[in-house]
Amino acid sequence: MLLGQRSRAFWRLLMAVIACGWAMAALVAPSLQAEVVRPPAVNAKAAVVYDATARTWLYDKRGDQPMYPASTTKLMTAILLVQHLRPDDPVYISEAASRQPRVRLGLRPGTELRAEDALLALLMKSANDVAYGIAETIGGSQEGFARMMNVEARLIGCTNTRFVTPNGLHADAHATSAKDIALITAKAITYPRIVRAMQTPQATIAGKAVRNGNRLLYSPPAAIGEFIGGKTGFTSRAMYCLATAVKRPSDGHVLISVVFGAPRKSLMYRETIRLLTWANRLSPSAPR
């Protein structure tokens, strides 16, 4: 009789433990499922997401492959401008600068711009003539400035970069990788002058009305995090390119996405939004 009572007590205890385990599993499972978030499929030729705070790569599709970067090149031009010129220093527009292909501000040879206005034209308008003027003002020539760009790229940690032009217009030897542009973006946003220019929606420069061409500035989806800034780019060889920096609300980490070689502008933005939305759902310890 006593043995039977002990047996029944044992089984009741065992069933209670099992039931408790099931209840705990039911509570824990949703949180685990929330952490395991599949990365999105990306159609662009290359794409990365970089956690600049933790210095870790969250997403990598052909991130080390050298490619044509188009006007994301201008991020490096902006870095050298703020390193070498004060806001009121002059930037000179030469005959060669004025002949640069579109997109341009359309300045005449001999025009002088304040460096801060040149920075706005560079990052808002993506003005090729202004980029060339910055290069000549700081480096003495496009070639001299390109050498400075490449030295700075190495200091930043870039390993697959060779800059030839200050504006990203096509040159066969002018190439960088999505990872390197992410590192350059991370460096660029450490300069408040660059961030202010990236976040300026409109300005008047040399009597010309300029509107920022980055669509994410105007209505960034909340799911991507707090918009810090970025740079668009396009050439027929590079296709559509976009570097974007945001702050993740959950932990304040700075996340940088780079998309290279998207076949359409709309896809460039959609894939950037998908990548950053995904990255914002990750916790620092979540599986990648």
Position 25 scores a pLDDT of 43
Q: Which of 45, 61, 71, 257 is catalytic?
A: 71
3-state secondary structure of 132: helix
**Confidence tier at 3 by pLDDT (50, 70, 90):** very low
**pLDDT of 30 over the 70 cut:** no
Q: Which of 126, 177, 179, 187 is catalytic?
A: 126
Q: What are phi and psi of 141, to 5 degrees?
A: -165, 165
| Structure tokens that stand for 229 in this block | 């800034």
**Confidence tier at 284 by pLDDT (50, 70, 90):** low
Q: Which of 74, 125, 179, 187 is catalytic?
A: 74
What is the distance between the alpha carbons of residues 252 and 269, in angstroms, rounded to a whole number?
23
* Helix runs in the chain, H state only: 2-35, 74-84, 95-98, 115-120, 128-139, 142-156, 178-188, 192-198, 265-281
Taking CA 213 as the corner, what is the angle to CA 72 and CA 189, rounded to the nearest 5 degrees?
Answer: 50
The predicted-structure confidence for 194-205, as pLDDT tens digits, reads as follows 999 999 999 999
**pLDDT of 86 over the 50 cut:** yes
| Range name among 13-17, 104-108, 135-139, 187-191 with the lowest pLDDT average | 13-17
Is 74 among the catalytic positions?
yes
Position 37 scores a pLDDT of 80
Closest CA to 125 of 228, 211, 239, 216: 211
Torsion of CA 187, 231, 159, 138, to 10 degrees: -70
**pLDDT of 150 over the 70 cut:** yes
Note whether 169 and 128 are within 8 A (CB): yes
**Confidence tier at 12 by pLDDT (50, 70, 90):** low
Position 20 scores a pLDDT of 46
Neighbouring CB atoms inside 10 A of 41's CB total 8
Position 11 scores a pLDDT of 47
Position 83 scores a pLDDT of 99
231 labeled binding residue: yes
The predicted-structure confidence for 230-257, as pLDDT tens digits, reads as follows 999 999 999 999 999 999 999 999 999 9
Q: Answer whether CATH 3.30.465.10 is correct for domain 42-281.
A: no
**Confidence tier at 34 by pLDDT (50, 70, 90):** very low
